[in-house]
Amino acid sequence: MTVSDFFPYLKPGKRAHLVGIGGVSMSPLAEVFKLRGLTVQGSDITDSEVVQGLRSDGISVFIGHRPENVAGADFVVRTAAVHDDNPEIRAAREAGIPVFERTQAWGAIMKDYACGVCVAGTHGKTTTTSMLTHILMEAGKDPTVMIGGTLPLIGSGYRVGRGDTILLESCEYYDSFLNFSPTVAVILNVDNDHLDYFGTLENIKKSFRAFAELTPEKEGWVISCADDRNTEDTLAGIARQRLRYGFAPDADMRPMNLTEGRISEFDAVFRGETWAHISLRIGGRHNILNALAACAAAKALGLDPKAVEKGLGAFRGAGRRAEFKGKCGEADVYDDYAHHPSEFRALMDAVSKMGYQRIVVAFQPHTYSRLKNLFEDFVQVLSIPDKLYLADVYAAREKDVFGVSSADLAARIPGAVYCRSFGELCDALRAELRAGDMLLTVGAGDIYKVGEMLLDRQA
């Protein structure tokens, strides 16, 4: 099935069944379908606030995946996490019901928006998409938005607007973003990741090049980071309108008169002219680049720079991005989603400027394949914190067949402590933490629960 195959089903009266309907990109899809007059139902493994919210909107949700759930559906949509052996997928195929991937559905929906903004890149997608959400809301565009994290401004990871703009965080894994139809394609960076699928950096570059070429030749825009060599290589000679941002002297959108700290201030200068003055209340040079990407995209969209100033000025970060969680004794507890060595290094750069006496990190590697492929890089960056604790690998979609573990990582990093369970990790952290410390729970799995367990024990 392809995006074009989906168009006949995107009509009022059609019945959609969404497998994994409570997911971060599936729940907004359900809302969009309902808004367009489709009958919507779905299933999920567990009940949740998201599921309850969908039910309150009149959407039927089954808990558990069973063959009979798909009866009467005109089509089925699934996430990448739902495999062919899922009982609902098997039942749909046996009954001749078409099965689509969620990105194919989003790709078809995008066709109906005059402006489609897709934010891609190995790192920084959620933060930059969140920044652009603030800007578009401030500009009165009433956008439809899908973010891979929670944004306090909209109270979730998505909103369904009635404007002519759709904004999507766009992941490269399995070439998912190649189903989209961006009029503005933002590429933040291109780095070694998801090598279990791509195999090589060259294949990753080819995928990002194909993504950029989805934009219309004359009316579309490609926004890219002039500081990132891999991105520059990826886009060399591309026949598209481009805006390049960054610290590089030849970038179109650059930061000038920069002061860094807990609040970063700079002039966003577009081709030699001051375009906007930015006050950014999240730290780190990587977030200055994310803000410049948002500025460049806003410029391409023709937005008022005042809306950019106000939108970015009100931004306080997305969920799980250096998010303050509370206190454990005299130590401050934060949580972050970083799961790649480059992301971890950028995180350490940001928090090092926050004035804490020590940075204590509890890190959970995400997938065995990533740990194996980037092991030496992880050894290097995980040596940066003052104290490192390691949880077991979060397997996600994988099995433990790669011959690598968190214990192996701990053995290579002086002073690192490996803990076999979250309970053991919590006990170790309680004994470790003291006044003046920042505790960072870091990883894309469920390591955030450790911080919450520590806070719960303080209650």
Q: Is 47 left (phi over 0), alpha (psi -120 to 50) or beta?
A: beta
pLDDT per residue over 239-273, tens digit each? 999 999 999 999 999 999 999 877 899 999 999 99
Q: How many whole angstroms separate alpha carbon 295 and alpha carbon 303?
A: 9
Q: What is the pLDDT of residue 34?
A: 93
Q: What is the pLDDT of residue 24?
A: 77
Q: What is the pLDDT of residue 210?
A: 98
Give me the CATH topology for the region 3-105. Rossmann fold (3.40.50)
The answer to whether 126 is a known catalytic residue is: yes
Q: Is the pLDDT score of 2 beyond 90?
A: no
Per-residue CA distances from 299 to 87, 161, 225, 356 (Å): 47, 21, 15, 37
Q: How confident is the model at residue 457 (pLDDT cuts 50, 70, 90)?
A: low
Q: What is the mean pLDDT of the segment spanning 424-442? A: 97
pLDDT per residue over 303-323, tens digit each? 999 999 999 999 998 877 888
Domain assignments of the chain as residue spans, ordered by start: 3-105, 113-313, 323-458
Q: Is the pLDDT score of 458 beyond 70?
A: no
Q: What is the mean pLDDT of the segment spanning 83-95? A: 96
pLDDT per residue over 177-231, tens digit each? 999 999 999 999 999 998 999 999 999 999 999 999 999 999 999 999 999 999 9
For the 323-458 domain, the top CATH level (class) is alpha beta
Q: What is the pLDDT of residue 377?
A: 97
Burial 350-360 (b: 16+ CB within 10 A, else e): bbeeeebebbb
Q: Picking from 7-16, 42-51, 181-190, 272-281, which range would have the lowest pLDDT averaged per residue?
A: 42-51
Q: What is the pLDDT of residue 1?
A: 78
Q: What is the pLDDT of residue 456?
A: 65
Which listed CATH number (3.40.1190.10, 3.40.50.2030, 3.40.50.300, 3.40.50.620) goes with 113-313?
3.40.1190.10
Q: What is the pLDDT of residue 155?
A: 85
**Cβ-Cβ contacts under 8 Å for 405 (sequence gap 6 or more):** 392, 393
Q: Is the pLDDT score of 459 beyond 50?
A: no
**Of residues 169, 172, 309, 343, which has the active-site annotation?**
169
pLDDT per residue over 95-150, tens digit each? 999 999 999 999 999 998 999 999 999 999 999 999 999 999 999 999 999 998 88
Residue type, 189: N
Q: How many whole angstroms separate alpha carbon 428 and alpha carbon 177?
A: 41
- Chain-centroid distance, C-alpha 423: 28
Q: How confident is the model at residue 289 (pLDDT cuts 50, 70, 90)?
A: very high
Residue type, 337: Y
pLDDT per residue over 378-414, tens digit each? 999 999 999 999 999 999 878 999 999 999 999 999 9
Under a CB-based contact definition with an 8 Å cutoff, are residues 54 and 35 in contact? no
Compute the mean pLDDT over every residue in the chain, rounded to the nearest whole number: 94
Say if strands 115-120 and 60-63 run parallel, antiparallel, or are unpaired: unpaired
Q: What is the pLDDT of residue 360?
A: 98
Q: How many whole angstroms separate alpha carbon 102 and alpha carbon 179?
A: 9
**Of residues 39, 122, 126, 144, which has the active-site annotation?**
126
CA dihedral sign of residues 350, 354, 358, 364: negative
For 4, counting Cβ atoms within 10 Å of its Cβ (0-12 exposed, 13-18 middle, 19+ buried), the class is: exposed
Q: Is 334 left (phi over 0), alpha (psi -120 to 50) or beta?
A: beta
The answer to whether 306 is a known catalytic residue is: no
Q: How many whole angstroms separate alpha carbon 255 and alpha carbon 243?
A: 14
**Of residues 125, 205, 325, 372, which has the active-site annotation?**
125
Per-residue CA distances from 291 to 53, 187, 248, 411 (Å): 32, 13, 15, 38
Q: Retrieve residue 219's tokens.
A: 């009316």
